[in-house]
Amino acid sequence: MSEDAASGIAARCRANGGLTEATLGELRDELGYRKLGRWVLAEIAETLRTTGFGFFPPDRLRAELNTEPRQWQTVWIYDRDGGPRARMIDAVLQPDDCDVRGELEALGTDNLAGLTPRQKLERIRDIVNA
């Protein structure tokens, strides 16, 4: 996330390996609002997207579905860094934008021959960076 908006939660997400849980109250506070409402939910969602983060469940930040948002409601925030976790979550949440079959087949597989070249490189990077 940007330095201005939700930087504390972004830092926490990165410190936690790219995945963290945050309340709507925390997200609201980071953007400098006092109350949750339709426009605040939309701004939270847009700020997360434009700063390279995803979130789930998606309905939590959609005013038409979350008609009575509460500060204690939570969303999971993940860094859309192109890593295995982000690709897997994106495959489930945004199936039209990725190779769902490839991502799901690679999940927990011991069959390295079934991995795409990109997935093999990611595995190598994970081992080197461990």
Q: Is residue 2 in some structural domain?
A: no
Q: What is the pLDDT of residue 3?
A: 44
Using alpha carbons, select from 74, 73, 69 the residue that is nearest to residue 36. Answer: 69
User: d(Cα 96, Cα 9) in Å, to the nearest integer?
Assistant: 28
In a shared domain, residues 90 and 56: no
1 domain-assigned: no
Helix residue ranges per DSSP H, the chain: 7-15, 24-30, 38-50, 84-93, 100-106, 117-129
107 shares a domain with 64: no
**pLDDT mean over 101-117:** 69
Is the confidence at residue 4, as pLDDT, over 70? no
Residues 91 and 119 in one domain: yes
Residue 107 in any domain: the answer is: yes
For residues 73 and 113, membership in a common domain is answered with no
Within a domain: residue 26?
A: yes
Look at the chain and report how many structural domains it folds into: 2
Q: How confident is the model at residue 47 (pLDDT cuts 50, 70, 90)?
A: very high
Q: Are residues 24 and 72 in the same domain?
A: yes
pLDDT tens, position by position, 12-43: 999 998 999 999 999 999 999 999 988 999 99
Tell me which of 38-47, 55-64, 84-93 is least confident.
Answer: 84-93
Can you tell me the distance from the alpha carbon of 36 to that of 27, in angstroms, rounded to the nearest whole number?
Answer: 10
Regarding whether 59 and 107 lie in a shared domain, the answer is no
Say what the pTM is: 0.75
Query: What's the average model confidence in pLDDT over 41-50?
Result: 94
Report the Cα 43 to chain-centroid distance in Å. Answer: 16
Q: Report whether 28 contacts 40 (CB < 8 A).
A: yes
Assess whether 70 and 98 both reside in one domain. Answer: no
- Can you give the residue range of the structural domain that contains 75? 7-79
CA angle 1, 89, 116 (to 5 degrees): 115
| pLDDT tens per residue across span 86-103 | 888 888 888 888 777 777
